[in-house]
Amino acid sequence: MESIVRNDLHPAFSMRGITKMFGTVLANDSVDFEVLPGEIHALLGENGSGKSTLMNVLSGIYRPDDGQIEVYGELKEFRSPGDAIDSGIGMIHQHYKLAEAMTATENIVAGMKKPPKNSGKKDDVLRTDILRYASRSPAKTQQKIIEFSSRFGIEFDPSIPAGQLSVSQKQSVEIIKVLLRGASILILDEPTAVLTPQEAKKLFSVLRKMAAQGCAIVFISHKLNEIMALCDRVTVLRKGQSIETCTVSEIDAYDLVEKMVGRKINLSINKPDPDPERRVCLDVKGLTYSDSKSVPKLDNLSFTTYYGEILGVAGLAGGGQKELCESIAGIIRPQQGDILVDNERIAGLSPRDITQKGVAMCFIPEDRLGMGLVASMGIEENILLKEYALTKGPLIRMKDATTKAEQIINELEIKTPGLKHPVRMLSGGNIQKVILGREIHLNPKLMIAAYAVRGLDIHSSYTIYNLLNEQKQKNVSVLYIGEDLDVLIDLCDRIMVLCQGKNMGIVDASSTTKEEIGQMMSGTTLEELKRGVSYV
């Protein structure tokens, strides 16, 4: 990609010597960071290295203990996110905060400020217009918003309630929202963690258009291929310190990882052979489920998993993966079909009975914290969540949980100041390791890992792949639901492709290709592929 970095420009913003402490945790340690207008600049670092903190400082949410911020050459001191947005800095957080019942338009207009007269910014007229129409003519407001969005190639229907938008559309709404408040510096904190690869591609083209129009963009991601494809420069953080800023075209992914972790690490998945006995663990027969609005989610789905094997599940977002997991774990009740583990029926049992039958699930929802963890409790009490029910008597056993928590913290290298430290204060990746560690420690027969590496840094992702492989070698049957096709192919033994709740076929990972899986994901069955028929 052509580089648009020009050195004669003033930086859009520059942060110097930023230091931020949380209690005893040094989240940012004298960090320097600057981004030029028209540049897409990646911020890379392991989980807990202080990326979000740094950006929260820039967007006025936290105040730094030390250091200074200059925006377009002017020294600034932000006391609230409002101050930052007035200086043109807008942040898109990983968890969107839209009023679900209000339409996209209402969400965008709410909180918009009238631009100061003669501020000279180019979209002032448009913003004044939108505000003027807002109360009187929703249709005209929407028209204006659509016009504005199309400039960046963003498409969504501004008249529907935000609650009904898909994750990627919500993200678009958030982007438009900050742009319309006059942001010319845009911070995106892991915007692609919850997007499908297709949606991510769309987002990239939007970001490129914005950069071409002079916006400065900070892009946080753990996916190196995205950084290589999208960004101009990259700044690496390690343990709260800024290590280096490099031009992307002059560096390769391996160097980046080394800078990030501080030493060479092995980034290959070492795939052990599956158990040749092929004993059936999970047997799903004709599973059919429609949600409360009678939208079909699972359609006559049948498959089996074997002990000592990893079965991958690929599919577009909303293809029934979540419902499949929840049916197996007993959280929802499919209308038809049967689920057997070791030839024993588990369909219809309570989630707890299913856990007792040896089924563990690690499902990382889009908002990470929403399910599976209790935000204000510490790690040990979160470890208890699944286990407390398995012990006898009416009392909880804190001692066991404490020992286990310590063990999990060591094994998965979870960064926390203490066992009782509320998990909501951990960094995103560390939060996730807590869930995974807990489920693995249940010693299950069947381990469901859904989106287990969502938001994890590369190093931790590989730790998790290795953990899953260890489970496989212990003869656990692993069901891995993922989005990254490369990883699915490298990690799994077989891959099942879902499309609208149907099983499109199960392919052998050693002989399949990404293209084949891609075609199946969009609705061609394996048999049709073999016969040479294709609808796409």
Partner 1 sequence: MFRITKKESFTKAEAIIYRLFGFSVGIIFSGIIIAALGYPVFKTFISLAEGSFGSSIAIRNTISFLIPLSVTALGLSIAFKMRYWNIGGEGQILMGATAAMGVSMVLPSGMPGPLMMLSMLVAGFIGGSIWALIPGFFRINMKTNETLFTLMMNYLAICFVQYLYFELWRDPAKKGFPGIQDIPFRARIPYVSGISLAILAPLIIVLVVYFLIKKTKLGYEIRVVGESEPTAHYAGMNVKKIMFVGVMLSGGIVGVAGAVKLMGSTGTLSSSLGGGAGFTAIVIAWLANLSAPMIVLVSFLIAALEQGAQFIQVRMGVPAAVADIVKGLILMSVLGSEFMLRYKILFGVHTASKKLEERASVDPTMQDSDPESEVVEDSI
Which residue ranges make up the site for Mg ion (CB under 5 A)?
A: 52, 428
257 lines the binding site for ligand ATP (CB under 6 A): no
Token pair in block for residue 299: 């359609």
With CB atoms as reference, the residue minimizing the distance to Mg ion is 52
When the beta carbons of 190 and 380 are compared against Mg ion, the nearer one is 190
451 within 8 A of 483, measured Cβ to Cβ? yes
Residues 46-105 that bind ligand ATP (CB under 6 A): 47-53
Does residue 182 belong to the site contacting ligand ATP (CB under 6 A)? no
CA 447 to chain centroid: 21
Residue nearer to Mg ion on the CB measure, 260 or 360: 260
320 binds ligand ATP (CB under 6 A): no
C-alpha 29 chain-centroid distance: 26
Radius of gyration over every alpha carbon of the chain, rounded to an integer in angstroms: 24
453 or 491, CB closer to ligand ATP?
453
- For ligand ATP, the binding residues in 23-52 under the rule CB under 6 A are 25, 27, 45, 47-52
CB under 5 to 8 A by kind: which of ligand ATP, Mg ion, partner 1, none does 95 bind? Answer: partner 1
By CB under 6 A, residue 169 contacts ligand ATP: no
Closer of 295 and 375 to ligand ATP (Cβ): 375
CB of 52 to Mg ion, least distance (A): 3
Residue type, 95: H
Q: What does the DSSP 8-state code read for residue 102?
A: S
Which of ligand ATP, Mg ion, partner 1, none binds 27 (CB below 5-8 Å, type-dependent)? ligand ATP
d(CA 117, CA 115): 6
Taking the C-alpha atoms of residue 141 and residue 138, their distance in angstroms, rounded to an integer, is 5
Task: Compose the 391-430 pattern: x for residues touching ligand ATP by CB under 6 A, - for all others.
Answer: ------------------------x---------xxxxx-
- When the beta carbons of 33 and 363 are compared against partner 1, the nearer one is 363
CA distance 291 to 323: 9
* 450 makes contact with ligand ATP (CB under 6 A): no
Positive or negative, the CA dihedral 273, 279, 281, 282 is positive
Minimum Å gap between C-beta 443 and partner 1 is: 17
Judged by DSSP in three states, 60 sits in coil
DSSP letter (8 states) at residue 268: -
Q: How many residues bind ligand ATP (CB under 6 A)?
A: 17
Closest distance of CB 181 from partner 1, Å = 8
378 counts as binding ligand ATP under rule CB under 6 A: no
Nearer to partner 1, 321 or 461 (CB): 321
Contact of residue 45 among Mg ion, ligand ATP, partner 1, none (CB under 5-8 Å per partner type): ligand ATP
525 binds ligand ATP (CB under 6 A): no
Amino acid at 184: S
Helix (H, G, I), strand (E, B) or coil at 374: coil
Alpha helices in 164-271 (DSSP H): 167-180, 197-212, 224-230, 253-261
Q: Which listed option, Mg ion, partner 1, ligand ATP, none, makes contact with residue 429 (CB within 5 to 8 Å by class)? A: ligand ATP
Query: CB-wise, 67 or 161, nearer to ligand ATP?
Result: 67
Q: Please say which residue, 90 or 274, places its beta carbon nearer to partner 1.
A: 90
Residue reference for tokens 């588990």: 346
Q: CA 40, CA 232: separation in Å to the nearest integer? A: 6
Instruction: Estimate to the nearest angstrom the gap between the alpha carbon of 131 and the chain centroid.
Output: 33
Kindly list the residues in this chain that would bind partner 1 in the complex (CB under 8 A).
Answer: 21-23, 56, 59, 61-63, 65, 77, 79-82, 85, 91, 93, 95-97, 110-113, 181, 330-331, 350-352, 354-355, 363, 370-377, 381, 384-386, 388-389, 394-396, 422, 425
How does 153-192 read in b/e, with b if 16+ C-beta sit within 10 Å?
ebebebeeebeebeebbbbbbbbbbbbbbbbbbbbbbbbb
Q: Does 482 bind ligand ATP (CB under 6 A)?
A: no
Shortest distance in whole angstroms from residue 141 CB to ligand ATP: 35
Q: Pick the closer one to partner 1 by CB: 21 or 246.
A: 21
CA distance 180 to 190: 21
Query: Closer to partner 1 at the Cβ: 261 or 377?
Result: 377
Based on the shown chain and the rule CB under 6 A, indicate whether residue 127 belongs to the binding site for ligand ATP: no
Q: How far is the CB of 165 from ligand ATP (least distance, A)?
A: 24
Chain centre distance of CA 418: 25
The order of strands in the sheet holding 477-481 is 359-363, 446-450, 477-481, 309-315, 494-499, 502-508
Determine if 22 is a binding residue for ligand ATP (CB under 6 A).
yes
Smallest distance from Mg ion to CB 62, Å: 13
The least CB distance from residue 237 to ligand ATP, in Å, is 7
Nearer to partner 1, 225 or 376 (CB): 376
Amino acid at 41: H
Sheet containing 66-71, strands listed edge to edge, beginning at the edge strand earlier in sequence: 25-35, 13-22, 66-71, 74-76
Please return the burial class of 288, using the count of CB atoms within 10 Å of its CB with bins 0-12, 13-18 and 19+.
middle
Tokens for 531? 């016969």
Q: Label residue 218 left, alpha or beta by phi (over 0 means left) and psi (-120 to 50 means alpha).
A: beta
Query: Which one of partner 1, Mg ion, ligand ATP, none is in contact with 63 (Cβ closer than 5 to 8 A by kind)?
Result: partner 1
Q: Which is nearer to ligand ATP, 27 or 173 (CB)?
A: 27
Binding region for ligand ATP (CB under 6 A): 22, 25, 27, 45, 47-53, 415, 425-429
